[in-house]
């Protein structure tokens, strides 16, 4: 049996593919390469270039490769863009997920691991966000993901599809072996953008909002290293394969750093005092998102890279590697 990884040529998906191959799994990738890169696909994986919303294509892949489990990463993820263009987000993140689920159910897929987001919590005020607090997303990105969670829950009740929903906090860093990292030039992840500014690839870094109700007025986020996140997915897959109940889990470390904390750390690690510009808040940004992580730890998962300085160093090294490849 094989695992289908949608979006497996993208940032998080490519790290998932590496973890699966390292664990001895047969992997098939479905990616339209709109934000993913063929160069990230290892020779051990099968790449099918196509749209995750193409139900007939997904059905053929499942049948031809004897897929027993799907890990679904393909999505649009930029919060301000979702506010400006909500219908595109509902189409890409919700309608296409529905098509993938409908391909999975009649073709015998047993397990579905879904890439969700802490954005489903909205402006929840608890110091640590548990999976059991009410969901109340404040932007179309979070709503599009929450609607997909509901579809999985309903499909499980009606058809027996087993699911694990992983709600990410802020993903950062790169593979310590240098095999993959965040490669999209215009990505909006703070640590990547700050690393690009430190290396002179951006003229300055924007900070959006300094009047949040936090210690220094900037947003606070829980940063999780990307390989640790991929291992959390692998733990969830093992949980389902060994008869565990359907589960929804936060993916973070349980502590946060502000935007200014991150910027100062990137300056320290890089040795570059790059320019920072201050702008008004962006639409849809909650003030604080920090995970309660008891549930994912109950599966035996433990972080290996819970060190923000290490994560920043990985990001900087990856950006340097990308620049060297471009110059070659």
Q: Taking residues 47-58, report their average pLDDT.
A: 98
The pLDDT value recorded for residue 33 is 96
The pLDDT value recorded for residue 250 is 98
Find how far residue 259's CA is from the centre of its chain.
Answer: 19
The pLDDT value recorded for residue 235 is 98
**Domain presence at residue 284:** yes
For residue 284, pLDDT over 90 is answered with: no
For the chain, the domain total comes to 2
66-70, 99-103, 173-177, 281-285, range with the lowest pLDDT: 281-285
For residue 80, pLDDT over 80 is answered with: yes
Full-model pTM: 0.95
Tell me, yes or no, whether 142 and 260 share the same domain: no
Tell me, yes or no, whether 291 and 234 share the same domain: no
Q: CA 2 to CA 237: how far, in whole Å?
A: 12
Tell me, yes or no, whether 306 and 242 share the same domain: no
Tell me, yes or no, whether 104 and 210 share the same domain: no
Tell me, yes or no, whether 25 and 149 share the same domain: yes
Tell me, yes or no, whether 150 and 197 share the same domain: no
User: Which tens digits make up the pLDDT trace of 102-158?
Assistant: 999 999 999 999 999 999 999 888 889 999 999 999 999 999 999 999 999 999 999
User: Which tens digits make up the pLDDT trace of 170-189?
Assistant: 999 999 999 999 998 888 89
User: Which tens digits make up the pLDDT trace of 201-255?
Assistant: 999 999 999 999 999 999 999 999 999 999 999 999 999 999 999 999 999 999 9
**Domain presence at residue 181:** no
Tell me, yes or no, whether 199 and 263 share the same domain: yes
Q: Name the band, by pLDDT with cuts 50, 70 and 90, for residue 52.
A: very high
For residue 328, pLDDT over 80 is answered with: no
Q: Taking residues 279-302, report their average pLDDT.
A: 92
Residue where one domain finishes, among candidates 232, 251, 270: 251
Tell me, yes or no, whether 156 and 21 share the same domain: yes
Q: Taking residues 2-21, report their average pLDDT.
A: 97
**Domain presence at residue 185:** no
Tell me, yes or no, whether 54 and 75 share the same domain: yes
**Domain presence at residue 286:** yes
Tell me, yes or no, whether 76 and 100 share the same domain: yes
Instruction: Name the residue range of residue 159's domain.
Output: 2-172+223-251
**Domain presence at residue 177:** no
DSSP H helices in 5-139: 11-22, 55-64, 79-84, 86-89, 96-104
Instruction: Specify the DSSP class assigned to residue 291.
Output: B
**Domain presence at residue 271:** yes
Catalytic residue, from 90, 121, 141, 253: name it: 141
Residue where one domain finishes, among candidates 251, 271, 294: 251
The pLDDT value recorded for residue 276 is 98
The pLDDT value recorded for residue 229 is 98
The pLDDT value recorded for residue 151 is 98
Of 201, 184, 226, the C-alpha closest to 34 is 184
Q: CA 108 to CA 61: how far, in whole Å?
A: 12
The pLDDT value recorded for residue 294 is 96
Q: What is the CATH number of the domain that holds 88?
A: 3.40.50.720
Tell me, yes or no, whether 167 and 300 share the same domain: no
The pLDDT value recorded for residue 49 is 98
Tell me, yes or no, whether 228 and 294 share the same domain: no
Q: CA 305 to CA 229: how far, in whole Å?
A: 10
For residue 61, pLDDT over 80 is answered with: yes
Determine whether 141 is an active site residue: yes
**Domain presence at residue 20:** yes
Order of strands, sheet of 288-289, starting from the edge strand that comes earlier in the sequence: 257-258, 220-221, 288-289
**Domain presence at residue 180:** no
Pick the more confident residue, 320 or 285. Answer: 320
What are the start-end ranges of the E strands in 2-152?
Answer: 2-6, 26-31, 46-49, 67-72, 111-117
Residue where one domain finishes, among candidates 251, 268, 293: 251
The pLDDT value recorded for residue 282 is 86
- Give the burial string for 253-291 (b: 16+ CB within 10 Å, else e): bbebbbbbbbbebbbebbeeebebeeeeeeebbbbbbbb
Q: What is the CATH number of the domain that holds 318?
A: 3.90.25.10
């Amino acid at each position: 049996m094989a695992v289908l990884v949608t979006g497996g040529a993208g940032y998080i998906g490519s790290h998932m593919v590496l973890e699966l191959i390292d664990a001895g799994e047969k992997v098939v990738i479905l990616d339209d390469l709109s934000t993913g890169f063929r160069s990230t696909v290892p020779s051990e994986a099968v790449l099918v270039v196509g749209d995750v919303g193409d139900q007939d294509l997904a059905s053929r892949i499942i049948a031809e490769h004897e897929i027993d489990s799907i890990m679904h990463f393909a999505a649009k993820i930029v919060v301000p863009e979702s506010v400006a263009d909500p219908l595109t987000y509902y189409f890409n993140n919700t309608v296409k997920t529905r098509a993938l689920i409908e391909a999975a159910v009649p073709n015998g897929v047993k397990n579905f691991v879904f890439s969700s987001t802490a954005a489903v919590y909205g402006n929840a005020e608890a110091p640590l966000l548990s999976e059991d607090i009410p969901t109340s997303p404040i932007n179309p990105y979070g709503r599009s993901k929450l609607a997909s969670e509901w579809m999985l829950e309903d499909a499980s009740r009606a058809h027996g599809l087993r699911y694990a929903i992983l709600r990410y906090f802020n993903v950062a860093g790169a593979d310590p072996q240098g095999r993959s990292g965040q490669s999209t030039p215009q990505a909006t992840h703070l640590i990547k953008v700050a690393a690009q500014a430190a290396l002179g690839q951006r003229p300055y870094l924007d900070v959006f909002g300094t009047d949040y109700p936090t210690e220094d007025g900037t947003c606070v986020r829980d940063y999780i290293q990307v390989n640790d996140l991929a291992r959390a997915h692998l733990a969830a897959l093992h949980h389902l394969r060994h008869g565990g109940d359907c589960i929804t889990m936060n993916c973070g470390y349980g502590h946060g750093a502000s935007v200014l904390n991150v910027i100062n750390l990137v300056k320290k690690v890089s040795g570059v005092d790059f320019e920072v510009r201050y702008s008004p808040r962006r639409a849809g940004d909650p003030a604080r998102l920090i995970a309660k992580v008891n549930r994912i730890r109950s599966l035996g998962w433990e972080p290996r890279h819970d060190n923000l300085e290490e994560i920043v160093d990985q990001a900087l090294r990856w950006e340097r590697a990308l620049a060297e490849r471009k110059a070659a």
